[in-house]
Each structure stands twice: as C-alpha cells, then as structure tokens.
Amino acid sequence: MAAKTFAPVSLRSAAAPKGLSKTFLGQPAQLKATRAQTARVNVSTSAKLETATSQLPLEMEELPLAVNTWKNKNPLPCKVRSVERIVGPKATGETCHIVIETDKKAPFWEGQSYGIVPPGTKINSKGKEVPHGVRLYSIASTRYGDFYDGETTSLCVRRAVYWDPEMGAEDPAKKGICSNFLCDAAPGTEVALTGPTGKVMLMPEDPNTCYIMVATGTGIAPYRSFWRRMFYERPPNFEFTGLAWLFMGVANSDAKLYDDELQDIIAAYPDQFRVDYALSREQNNTKGGKMYIQDKVEEYKEQVFDLLDNGAHMYFCGLKGMMPGIEEMLKNVCAEKGLEYKEWLEGLKSKEQWHVEVY
C-alpha cells in the first residue's frame, strides 16, 4: 500500500470530550474499574510494556505480501499450541485465544486472515460426501506471533451456536463446526491452515498515521495485531508516532476481549492510544436503547470527522449487522454538517482511508 502522509495528529489539539480526563486520549475512570473482571490472556506481555524490538527476527519485515500461499486443497498442517477462554463467566458466549504453530511457513502481514479447514466431511446438496469447507479467521497476532519469534500465529475465535429453525426452539443448540473444533482443540491437535488472504485491512506504511478502529466481538482480532506492532514491537521501520483509537462493542464487561493489553498500552502511551467501549447490555444510548457501537462513535462525531479530514484511516471489523447502523449514523452526521454522504464516503474510499471486513 502507498504510504500516507498528513500533518501529525496532535492528540492534544482536539478539545477533550466532556467528562473525560485532561488528555484527549485519557481514559474515563469508570472504564478502568471493570478491568479486574476480565480474564487475562496468557501471552508474553509485560505490564510495563517493555518493547520487544530486540527479540524480533527483523528479516520478516522484508517479506512481500503473500496471498494464498496455502490453498484449500493443499493446506499447511500445523499444531495447536494453546487454547484459552478469554471472557468472563457472564459473557454472552465463549471466545477463545488460540495459538497455532506455523513454524514461519505461512508468512503474512498484519490485517490478513487465515483459513482453517475443519476435519471431517459433510453431505452436500447433491447427497455426496465431501470434506468440510474452509472458514476464515482474522489473524490476531503480528507476523512475529505472541512470542516474538515468528513461529506462531494467534486467532480469536467465538464458538458459533445456533438453533436449527426446522427443529424448533425445543431442539438443543447446534454447534458451528470449525469454531467448536478450534475452541475444543487440545494442545498438539493438528489443524489444516490456508491463506493468508485479504488486503482491505492492511496497515498503511506510514508510522505517523491515525487509526480509528471499530469492532464488534471478534472483530477486534486484526486490531490486536495492529496494537502489538505499534506498541509492543515497534520494529525500526514502524516506530509508531500516530494515534490509535479503538471503539469496541461487546455485550457486557465480562465479554471484553484483551482488555488487559489495552489497559497496559493506555498506561504506557496515554497520548497515543484510546479505547471506548459500547457495552450493549450494560449501557444505554441517548435514546434509551441499547448502546451499540454506532452510538458510541456518534458521541465523538466531531473528533472522528476531524481526524478523517486530516487523513485518518477508519477500520470496521466484526458483525455484518453493524454496518447499516454505522452507515445510517454517518449519513445523519454528514447531513448535520452539510456534507453529501456519498461524496464524503467516496472521498475516503478513493484515498484508501476506508477499510471494512465484516462477516
């Protein structure tokens, strides 16, 4: 991707939103209070956020962008190193952090996805027994993995459960095939990996970029790769001087994902990193309805529009269902500002500032 340049975003240049602490990026105190409730991910992070730059096999910076190195018919056999539930007991579902040993055989760039082909077969619409199809998962680690050696990669997987409408509500929940296979995998389990795929969620080369990252649920995965590259790794060609602002939508405090890492970064880089949560089942929006991610972004519409005007990149990842609400909100803000929504959006797209990956 072409490097993006724009005037450095001074994090203190915008007015602090009402109710927030002195620094523009300071965290509202009430968000800190819930931190202890969140399960910790057992990865090699430091509360002090010591930079891992010296441990990185930096030759991996030189690797070209790879697409579909490993195809569906010839996947890379890998082993699961660990599976850890990363949500608290009151979360509305189960989400796991899964570390997979790739042994440097499937290099990728931050923002890409891998495919996993679950074991077993299914009967297709023609009555024939065929292998299960591939499922995509956003990669939740940087190219160096959670151990900074490039030997592993990580996924953030939510167990899919559903009720078969033909069987009615009485029927026990059915389990999504691949997500349950991954979340139940014991260390050492073999997984068939394809990819990497995807280009829409890549990071701009310029380390002085502003990122506005919007996630629902496991949509946080690619952003974890971003924040670890920006703040934990800081390779010499990517010493991050920009701003990263995460808007995260989950049901409740127990469903927060990687909040321990987020709070460590806020403590270490309060002027460069900010997180705002939309807790749909704990908070209400201004109309008294559920606090969804679009409502939270709307609260900061002035700052968000200013940052976009100054070249910020806006990313959306997670539930497909959030996009109509996001678009509606942005359309309304454009109308308030006398902007033509379609033109405004086309402008962002043409400058490669707009990144959407929803599923």
176 binds, among ligand A2P, ligand FAD, none (CB under 5 to 8 A by kind): ligand FAD
Q: Which is nearer to ligand FAD, 60 or 356 (CB)?
A: 356
Active-site residue, 138 included: yes
CA distances in angstroms from 134 to 37, 116, 220, 230, 278, listed in the order given: 35, 5, 21, 31, 31
Q: Does 243 bind ligand A2P (CB under 6 A)?
A: no
User: Using the rule CB under 6 A, is 281 a contact of ligand A2P?
Assistant: yes
Query: Has 144 been annotated as catalytic?
Result: no
Residue 292 binding target from ligand FAD, ligand A2P, none, CB below 5 to 8 Å by type: ligand A2P
The yes-or-no answer on residue 137 being catalytic is: yes
Partner whose footprint covers residue 82, from ligand A2P, ligand FAD, none (CB < 5 to 8 Å by kind):
none
Residue nearest to ligand FAD (CB): 176
Residue 289 neighbours by CB under 8 Å, 6+ apart: 295
* Annotation says 211 is catalytic: no
Of 184 and 359, which has the nearer Cβ to ligand FAD?
A: 359
Q: Which of 112, 216, 253, 263 is the binder for ligand A2P (CB under 6 A)?
A: 216
Cβ-based nearer residue to ligand A2P, 39 or 250: 250
Residue 321 binds which one of ligand FAD, ligand A2P, none, with CB within 5 to 8 A depending on kind? ligand A2P
Catalytic residue among 96, 183, 317, 334: 317
Question: Is residue 350 flagged as an active site residue?
Answer: no
Which segments of 199-348 are extended strands (E)? Answer: 210-216, 243-250, 273-279, 313-318
- Give me the least distance between CB of 52 and ligand FAD, in Å please: 23
Report the alpha-carbon distance of residue 247 to residue 277 in Å, rounded: 6
The two structure tokens encoding residue 67: 């697409």
Do the Cβ atoms of 214 and 293 come closer than 8 Å?
yes
Rule CB under 6 A: is residue 321 a binding residue for ligand A2P?
yes
Instruction: Look up residue 40 and give its two tokens.
Output: 């910790």
Q: Is 274 helix (H, G, I), strand (E, B) or coil?
A: strand
Q: Which does 349 bind (CB under 5 to 8 A by kind): ligand FAD, ligand A2P, none?
A: none
- CA dist 83 and 97 (Å) reads 6
H or E element at residue 136: strand 135-138
Binding footprint of ligand FAD on the chain (CB under 6 A): 113, 135-138, 156-158, 160, 162, 164-165, 176-180, 218, 221, 357, 359
Question: Look-up: residue for tokens 């559920």?
Answer: 290
Interface residue with ligand A2P, options 250, 275, 304, 307 (CB under 6 A)? 250
**Which residues neighbour 196 within 8 Å (Cβ) at sequence distance 6 or greater?**
66, 67, 68, 69, 106, 107, 108, 109, 112, 113, 114, 139
- Residues that are catalytic: 137-138, 317, 357, 359
